[in-house]
């Protein structure tokens, strides 16, 4: 099969097109012929190298995959060749206390396609059969691939962790990110009022068209602007994934009793926390990573019904993966960048 591989870590130039043997599904696994694979910032982290990860090489990136079942391993039930599927990007042991309690993203063996095992920058990927979900047929493959990881993440952040309520105000940083466009739509679905930020007016216009009530350029006067919009009160919930540069603002933008839910640190993880504001304002800080597998079925229902929409920035052919990475790195995208396989 054709695959974009990593044999070393570094810039986009370490991504190479190679011919590899087609993978064979083992017991409990299926092989999926990949039609589309969306990029995530995670791909950039893995490509650059993460200290806690040891890979086999060649390694294949790509967590968000749409395709067709094309090979069934032993003992698999409920899947057959030709099924159109999207893949849950989370992998877990399936038999520990957390997995059996519907909290598989707390499993000690939790991993992600394209981070802990080969992902979808290839013509074929092999995954456990429990990672299959029916593809939403109303959408083209590039949109089918553009929602699982980020909508699962944003759903856990807002619905499970922050327990968002109708009428609450939510500040969403970098709304044009994959997590941001998902959070904006989920916040709207739950009846919240959204204040969204981005680094360009073009992204803010896209956010308003998607339903953001207020939009603000990211920058130094963010807290003042949020206070103006909320009549000095501050917001109930902050969706944090930008990290060090925005973290002090996220704390100051909160109303008393506000919740900050964080899943990432694109600008750096060594953020400054002034504890006085945390205890005087009685803030809650919630960490969040991915979400339980089952939640993706709920999200899929909303996507199929058109209540949540994958937002596509642009597509590239698989062969242009390095160019797609450069585009994600330059921060000009709004929504998802997707590799298409012919």
Ligand X SMILES: NC(=O)c1ccc[n+]([C@@H]2O[C@H](COP(=O)([O-])OP(=O)(O)OC[C@H]3O[C@@H](n4cnc5c(N)ncnc54)[C@H](OP(=O)(O)O)[C@@H]3O)[C@@H](O)[C@H]2O)c1
- In angstroms, the CA 97 to CA 85 distance is 28
Q: Residue of minimal CB distance from Zn ion?
A: 107
**Residues 251-270 interacting with ligand X (rule: CB under 6 A):** 263-267
Binding mask 37-56 for ligand X (x = CB under 6 A): ---xxx--------------
Tokens for 232, please give them: 């000095």
* Residue 218 touches ligand X, criterion: CB under 6 A: yes
Tokens for 177, please give them: 């990110």
Beta strands across the sheet bearing 169-172: 214-217, 193-198, 169-172, 235-240, 254-262, 284-287
* Residue 298 touches ligand X, criterion: CB under 6 A: no
* Residue 16 touches ligand X, criterion: CB under 6 A: no
Nearer CB in complex with ligand X: 33/325: 325
- In angstroms, the CA 165 to CA 158 distance is 9
Residue 96 interacts, among Zn ion, ligand X, none and using kind-specific CB cut-offs from 5 to 8 Å, with: Zn ion
Binding mask 25-54 for Zn ion (x = CB under 5 A): ------------------------------
CA max distance for the chain: 61
* Residue 324 touches ligand X, criterion: CB under 6 A: no
Shortest Å, Cβ 177 to ligand X:
3
Candidates 83-91, 105-113, 162-170, 194-202; binding stretch for Zn ion (CB under 5 A):
105-113
* Residue 93 touches Zn ion, criterion: CB under 5 A: yes
Reported as half-sphere exposure (CB side, CA atoms, 13 A), residue 161 has a value of 28
Contact 265, 41 (CB under 8 A): no
Sequence-separated contacts (24+) of 107-111 with Cβ below 8 Å: 110/290
Pseudo-torsion of CA 94, 99, 104, 107, nearest 10°?
Answer: -90
* Residue 153 touches ligand X, criterion: CB under 6 A: yes
- In angstroms, the CA 205 to CA 63 distance is 29
Nearer CB in complex with ligand X: 7/314: 314
Report the candidate in 17, 113, 115 with the shortest Cα–Cα distance to residue 324.
Answer: 17
Residue 42 interacts, among ligand X, Zn ion, none and using kind-specific CB cut-offs from 5 to 8 Å, with: ligand X
- In angstroms, the CA 243 to CA 209 distance is 26
Report the phi/psi class of residue 62: left, alpha or beta, with left for phi > 0 and alpha for psi in -120 to 50: left
Shortest Å, Cβ 237 to ligand X:
16
Nearer CB in complex with ligand X: 225/289: 289
Give the one residue of 127, 146, 179, 237 binding ligand X; rule: CB under 6 A: 179
* Residue 96 touches Zn ion, criterion: CB under 5 A: yes
Q: Which residues bind ligand X (CB under 6 A)?
A: 40-42, 149-150, 153, 174, 176-179, 198-199, 203, 218, 241-242, 245, 263-267, 289-290, 328, 331
Q: Which residues bind Zn ion (CB under 5 A)?
A: 92-93, 96, 99, 107
């Amino acid at each position: 099969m054709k695959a974009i591989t990593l044999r070393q870590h570094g810039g986009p130039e370490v991504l190479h097109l190679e011919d590899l043997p087609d993978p064979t599904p083992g017991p409990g696994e299926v092989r999926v012929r990949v039609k589309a694979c969306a990029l995530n910032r995670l791909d950039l982290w893995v490509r650059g190298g993460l200290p806690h990860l040891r890979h086999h090489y060649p390694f294949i990136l790509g967590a968000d995959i749409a395709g067709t079942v094309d090979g069934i391993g032993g003992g698999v039930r409920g899947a057959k060749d030709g099924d159109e599927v999207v893949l849950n990007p989370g992998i877990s042991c399936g038999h520990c206390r957390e997995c059996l309690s519907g909290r598989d993203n707390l499993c000690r063996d939790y991993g992600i396609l394209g981070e802990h095992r080969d992902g979808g920058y290839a013509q074929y990927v092999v995954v456990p059969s429990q990672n299959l979900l029916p593809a939403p047929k109303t959408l083209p493959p590039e949109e089918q691939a553009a929602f699982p990881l980020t909508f699962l993440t944003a759903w856990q952040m807002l619905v499970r962790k922050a327990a968002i309520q109708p009428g609450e105000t939510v500040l969403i940083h970098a709304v044009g990110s994959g997590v941001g466009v998902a959070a904006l739509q989920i916040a709207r679905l739950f009846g919240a009022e959204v204040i969204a930020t981005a680094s360009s007016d073009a992204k803010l216009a896209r956010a308003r068209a998607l339903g953001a009530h207020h939009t603000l350029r990211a920058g130094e006067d963010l807290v003042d602007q949020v206070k103006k919009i909320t009549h000095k009160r501050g917001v109930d919930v902050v969706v944090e994934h930008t990290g060090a540069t925005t973290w002090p603002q996220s704390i100051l933008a909160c109303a008393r009793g506000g919740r900050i839910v964080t899943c990432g640190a694109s600008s750096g993880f060594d953020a400054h926390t002034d504890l006085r504001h945390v205890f005087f304002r009685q803030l809650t800080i919630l960490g969040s990573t991915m979400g339980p597998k089952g939640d993706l079925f709920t999200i899929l229902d909303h996507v199929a019904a058109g209540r949540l929409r994958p937002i596509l920035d642009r597509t590239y052919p698989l062969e242009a993966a390095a160019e797609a990475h450069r585009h994600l790195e330059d921060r000009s995208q709004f929504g998802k960048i997707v590799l298409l396989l012919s």
